[in-house]
A and B are shown apart, each in its own frame.
Chain A
Amino acid sequence: MKWFGALLIVFTLTWLGYEWSKKLEQRPQLIRVLKSSLQILEAEIVYSQASIMEACHNISQQIPSPVSGFFRQVAQQLKHEPISLYDIWDKETDRFCHSVFLSSEEKEIMKQFGRTLGQHDIVQQQKYIQLALTHLDRKLKEAEDMNYRYGKMVKSLGLLAGLFLAILLL
């Protein structure tokens, strides 16, 4: 029974460490996808002058999940209950960031960007997209750094902490 409990502790903590490292790995990937979706958005706005709804719909078909889900939601909500774009964007950003591992800074960047979306002429809009992209770039670097530095460590830390606790309790 004792041994079983010890094993359980080791297993759980290893698994936690593994999960944590997966999150660290996920974050730069997500930021990369967000960046490419903003780039698609820019092309849709500048070259084809598509409406935000069309653009979001097109983006959702071109990028992988879960970011595609976010854009699909925005497009659908705009279609069905047109309140204001910013309210929808805000709500969906909250929901999206809640479901994936993104820091509050990324969330803030997206929200700030949403406030400018669709409110300016093409030149201005393009500038705002570029600004958001620069911010995301910075965050991407940070996230990559974090992953590089702590990714492997966290995994082994989980295992070691598990072992430590198990030995301590035995």
Chain B
Amino acid sequence: MENILNLLPETISSEIRQAMKNKRFQPQEIRLRMNQPVELNDGTNIIWLFKTRLTQSEALLFLNRISEYSMYRLEEELRQGYITISGGHRIGISGEVIVENGSVKAIKHVSSFNIRLATDMVGFTKPYLSYIYDSSLKNSLIIGPPQSGKTTFLRDIARYLSGGGVFKRTFKTAIVDERSEICASVNGVPQHHFHSRVDVMDKCPKSEGMMMLVRSMSPEVIIVDEIGSEKDVQALMETIHAGVCIICTVHGRDLEEVKQRPALLPLFRANVFDRFFVLSNQKKAGDVTDILDQHGRTILKQRVNSL
């Protein structure tokens, strides 16, 4: 939290500090829009800070600070539309886009920032571990809408698999962390706490990263965030048929909805997943509403309320 507030323009950060102190509010997102009040939200509640509004020069200063005054380092990030900063927090941006040869080259005038604060909840996936491993590791797909805690779930699972002391054995865990969200690596070294058997491919495109890890690191399980494109799916199929277990996440409300997505069809046709975890953002991040087996039958015995 503190390193984000240090990046923000002083007027805004001091107001946020005050609001957090007064209202005991733990925001999940800080949203800044040009000439608009600052929005803080924790998934369900919104707080508006009316005292300061983001100005053009402040937006530029903020971008400059994010990039350590070296905008050329954000080339790829400005094309993708989000920037991951140290601590694993992600800043989404939108604004005027420069197009070259029909594809987006960069976002030029940034008008909105969405700062998503990385939350690290240690140990909340413990009740679900038996669904992932009984006698063998299951290929699992974690389904959830935005802000439902998919990445947090994945991170926690990775912690247990790589040596959290719950399973009888530990697994060689490889993580493809395209957006540096799972591990929040700095110079390739994970900043979040993990156990010893984790190998991370940081900032690497998912499809390539999976294949590279299979070839180079002989993992037992590969963890990937947000499968979406056809290339990802193809690499996933390759990996699964190379005898490596996969745990990945996908955007969606439930299994039925995800099954409709054209890019993901080959996965369901080949029936590669043994477990589906459905997360919801209704109550709180990391709320598992359903667990299904490979035939789509509910196997979750009892919902876990305590987080």
The B contact surface, by secondary structure, is helix
- In the complex, the answer to whether A45 meets B69 with C-beta atoms within 8 Å is no
* Identity of the chain B residue whose Cβ is nearest the Cβ of A46 in the assembled complex: B72
Contact A52 B75 (CB under 8 A): no
Among residues of B, the one whose C-beta sits closest to the C-beta of A126 is B72
Chain A residues whose C-beta falls within 8 Å of the C-beta of B73 in the assembled complex: 49, 51
Contact call B64/A121, Cβ cutoff below 8 A:
no
Interface flags for B54-66 (1: CB within 8 Å of A; 0: not) read 0000000100110
- Decide if A103 is an interface residue (CB 8 Å cutoff): no
Q: Chain A residues with Cβ under 8 A from B67's Cβ?
A: 51, 118
Interchain CB contact under 8 A, A51 and B70: yes
Residues in B lying within 8 Å of A, measured CB to CB: 61, 64-65, 67-73, 75, 106
Q: Do residues A118 and B106 form an inter-chain contact, with CB atoms below 8 A?
A: no
Known A84-B64, A118-B64: A51·B71 in contact at CB below 8 Å: no
Q: With A and B bound together, what is the CA distance between A53 and B69 in angstroms?
A: 8
When the two chains form their complex, are residues A78 and B72 in contact, meaning their CB atoms are under 8 A apart?
no
**Which one, B65, B68, B106, contacts A121 given CB within 8 A?**
B106
B75 in contact with A121 (CB, 8 Å) = yes
User: Which listed residue (B61, B64, B65, B72) contacts A49, Cβ 8 A?
Assistant: B72
| Contact (Cβ within 8 A) A84 B61 | yes
Hey, which chain B residues are within 8 Å of A50, CB to CB?
A: 70
A residues near B (Cβ < 8 Å) are 45, 49-53, 55, 78, 82, 84-85, 117-122, 125
Given A53-B68, A82-B69, output 13 extra A-B contacts at Cβ < 8 Å. A49-B72, A51-B68, A53-B70, A78-B68, A78-B69, A84-B64, A84-B69, A118-B69, A121-B72, A121-B106, A122-B72, A122-B75, A125-B72
Query: Could you list some 5 contacts between A and B, CB below 8 A?
Result: A45-B70, A84-B64, A85-B69, A120-B71, A121-B72
Contact between B65 and A82, CB atoms less than 8 A apart: yes
Contact A45 B72 (CB under 8 A): yes
Q: Which residues of B contact A121 (CB under 8 A)?
A: 71-72, 75, 106
Of A82, A85, A120, the contact of B72 (CB 8 Å cutoff): A120
Cα separation A44 to B68 with both chains bound (whole Å): 14
Distance of A50 Cα from B67 Cα, bound (Å): 11
Residues of A within 8 A of B65 (CB): 82
Closest to B57 in A: A84
A117 CA to B64 CA in the complex, in Å?
Answer: 11
Q: Nearest chain B CB to A48's CB is how many angstroms away?
A: 11
A122 — nearest CB in chain B belongs to which residue?
B72
- The minimal Cβ–Cβ distance linking B170 to chain A, given in whole angstroms, is 36
| A99 CB, nearest partner CB in chain B, Å | 24
Contacts of A78 in B (CB 8 A): 68-69
Bound complex: CA of A119 vs CA of B67, how far in Å? 10
Q: Contacts A84-B61, A84-B64, A122-B75 hold; do A51 and B69 have CB atoms under 8 A apart? A: yes
The reply to whether A85 and B64 form a contact with Cβ atoms under 8 Å apart is yes
Residues on B with beta carbons closer than 8 Å to the beta carbon of A85: 64, 69
Whether B72 contacts A118 by the Cβ 8 Å rule is yes
> B68 and A119: CB pair below 8 A?
no
- Name the contact of A118 in the complex, choosing from B61, B70, B75 (C-beta under 8 A): B70
* Chain A to chain B: the 8 pairs with minimum beta-carbon distance, closest first: A85-B69, A51-B68, A51-B70, A118-B69, A122-B72, A118-B70, A52-B70, A52-B69
Instruction: With both chains docked as a complex, state the minimum distance between the C-beta of B40 and any C-beta of chain A, in angstroms.
Output: 24
